[in-house]
Every structure is written in C-alpha cells, then in structure tokens.
Amino acid sequence: MTLWRLNIKTAAQAGCDPLQFCLEQNLAGVGWPVQDENGHPPKDFEHYLELGRAEYADKGDNGWSKAVNVIGNRMSEGDLCWTRGNGVYYLGKITGPWQYLDGEDADKYDVHCVRPCKWFRVGLLDAVPGAVERSFIPSATVQAVKAAEEYSRYIYGQISGEPTIAANGHRDFFDLLGPLDHEDLAAVYLQTKGYVLFPSTIKSHTPTYEWVMCHQETGEKAVLQVKSGDAGIDFKQLDKIPSRVFVFAADWVVTGSVPANVTCISREQLLQFAKKRREILPERIRHYLDWASV
C-alpha cells in the first residue's frame, strides 16, 4: 500500500469547488483535459498520454506529466490518499482504475483524470500525522507520503469501519509522536498546572526554548524546552535563562547536576497525564494512545 497526498486545486469555473465535487462524487482527480482531432475524449490511458503530451508537455507544462502518471500508473486500488480544504483534512481509499471524465460537470470543475476514491472526513490539523501535514508544503499536485502509512491505515479503519491493522500493545507511545506532538503534550500538561502561553512567543527564533509562559496565580514566568529523539540537553545554556525552565526529552535520561531554575518533566509523568486526561488532548495524540493500547 502506498500513501498519497493530493491537492485538488484545478482551473475550475468561478463558483465551482473541485474539492467538494470530488468528495461528493468519491473521486481523486486532477484536471488537464484532452480531446482528439474530432473532439472526442481519449479511449484509454495510453491514448490520454498521447493526446496530453501534445497538449501540455510539448507546450512546457511541467506539472502535467508527474500528476497524471501518478493518477494513471502509480496509484493502485487499496492505496490511501489524503487531501484537504478550508483547514479540514480527508482520507480516502482508491477503489478502482483510472478513468477520464467528460461532460459538463467535468468541464465546470476541471476534474478529468480521476480514480474512484472513497473519502472520509478526518478533521482538523490536530487529527493529522505530522508527515502528512508537512507533505502539503511542496507545491506538487500529488506525491507519495512516507512515515505515515501504517497510522493512516489505522485511522482509515477507525473512520470507515473497514477491517484495519490491530493495535499493538508493544508500541512505544512516545515513538509514535512527532516533534510537534511532544510540544503539544507538554504544553497541555503545563496549562493544567496553571501556566498560560503567550501565543506571540510560540515558534520564535529562540533555540533554547519553545515559548514563554506565565503562571496565572503566582505570575511566575517560565519557558519550555522540548527535545525529541536522542537530542541532548545543554544545562549550561538553560542556567542562563532568567526564569523557570521546564524540560521534556522523552528519550533522554537526566544525568549530572540540574540547575536550580530547571524542572525536568519525565516521560512517565506525561504518559500518566495523557492516559488520565486524554479528553483534552489533540485528536491525533488520542489516536496514538488508542493505537499503542495504553
């Protein structure tokens, strides 16, 4: 099974939403219409490629070939595909072979080169794997997504009711989390401890901490540093910060002297918090808890 992400943005007529059309018609599609010298649609995919080369490739349309070859050649029945629109993400399963759409609706929405695809609404960004979120940054119309295949199969099974991979109790919950998931989990934990975040400081250009916080009762200022993977902690740098510093590193064991202004949050603390307060966690992290059977 290959996992894809598709931007359904075509040269549709004004007032026509190609994404909504594909969702309602259960299609994964792109534009690039063609016709033969008699005004007829292509007979098959090879004929489509022949006509398309003359219409697009020979005229310098560099995006045409890659997109239509994915839809026509590389996608397979059973593959999963992500798409999004207006901040909402959808996950679908390819259910049939390549087709060429012809007619009034296909022209209005500029959706022609398609695969049947059974779509389901997943939700907002907090429900989406980080690898999928990042895959939408490049401008390519369609591309493969690595590192989220198994989890996407799990999510598809949950929302579709179709058989899916079983949860594995031996999964390490923290291994499933991406860097931003670690930050989200630590942020929610600290907010339940009375700290509020200053949104303007989030993702600032400060390598020693993620954001600035303030305790809503005492007024104590604090910052948070999160490390994922086996990245180390530079306590000498943290000792210089004129506030309380919370540190979380899931795969790192605290050794040596910890400065007085530093408080280390253990993975066990966050795991127990996640299990007890899953209702206030981002949807993606709740899915990871279920998937890891914790």
What averages of pLDDT result for each successive group of 10 residues across the chain (294 residues)? 94 94 97 92 94 84 87 95 96 97 95 97 90 88 90 90 61 79 94 95 82 96 83 79 91 75 92 95 90 75
Give the up-direction half-sphere exposure of residue 144: CA atoms within 13 A in the CB hemisphere. 11
> b or e along 220-236 (b: 16 or more beta carbons within 10 Å of the residue's beta carbon)?
eebbbbbbbeeeebebe
CA angle 206, 216, 276 (to 5 degrees): 90
pLDDT, position 115: 97
CA 263 to chain centre: 32
Would you tell me how many other CB atoms lie within 10 Å of the CB of residue 138? 10
As a dihedral over the C-alpha atoms of residue 134, residue 139, residue 144, residue 147, rounded to 10 degrees, the angle is -10
CB 222 within 8 A of CB 243: yes
Residue identified by tokens 């429900």 is 127
The domain defined by 3-160 carries CATH number 3.10.590: yes
Crossing angle of helices 62-69 and 45-55, in 10° steps, is 170
Tell me, what's the pLDDT at 138?
A: 87
**Beta pairing class for 27-30 and 88-94:** unpaired
44, 37 contact by CB (below 8 A): no
In the block, tokens 């199969």 appear at 153
Return the bridge partners of 214, or none: 196, 221
Predicted TM-score (pTM) of the model is: 0.79
CA atoms of 18 and 22, how far apart (whole Å):
6
Written as one letter, the residue type at 141 is T
* All structural domains of the chain with their residue ranges: 3-160, 173-291
- Tokens 């943290």 — which residue? 238
The pLDDT of residue 61? 75
Query: Options 3.40.1130, 1.10.260, 3.40.1350, 1.10.530; which CATH number does 173-291 get?
Result: 3.40.1350
CA-to-CA distance for 289 and 267, rounded, in angstroms?
14
The radius of gyration of the chain from alpha carbons, rounded to an integer in Å, stands at 24
